[in-house]
Amino acid sequence: MTNVFQEGLQRLGLSGELEAAFLRYRQELLEWNTRFNLTAIKDPEEVMTKHFLDSLSLLAIYPQDEATLLDIGTGPGFPGLPLKMARPHWRVTLVEATNKKVTFLRHMVDVLELEHVEVIHGRAEELGQKPAYRSAFDLVTARAVAALPALLEYCAPYCRVGGAIILPKKGDLQDEMAQGKRAAAQVGAVLEADTVVDLPGINDGRRLLTWRQQKRCPEQYPRSGAAMAKRPLG
pLDDT confidence of residue 26: 98
Domain count, the chain: 1
Query: How far is Cα 151 from Cα 158, in angstroms, rounded to an integer?
Result: 12
In sequence order, which residues have a C-beta less than 8 Å from that of residue 221 and are 6 or more positions away?
Answer: 128, 153, 156, 157, 186, 187
pLDDT confidence of residue 98: 96
Question: At 39, which amino acid appears?
Answer: T
Query: How far is Cα 217 from Cα 221, in angstroms, rounded to an integer?
Result: 7
pTM of the model: 0.96
Beta strands 68-72 and 189-196, pairing class: unpaired
Query: How far is Cα 83 from Cα 69, in angstroms, rounded to an integer?
Result: 9
Span 14-32, pLDDT tens digits: 999 999 999 999 999 999 9
**CATH code of the domain covering residue 141:** 3.40.50.150
In sequence order, which residues have a C-beta less than 8 Å from that of residue 87 and are 6 or more positions away?
Answer: 59, 64, 65, 66, 67
pLDDT < 70 regions, the chain: 1-2, 145
Domain that holds residue 155: 2-230
pLDDT confidence of residue 2: 64
- Nearest residue to 204 (alpha-carbon basis) of 169, 229, 180: 169
pLDDT confidence of residue 234: 87
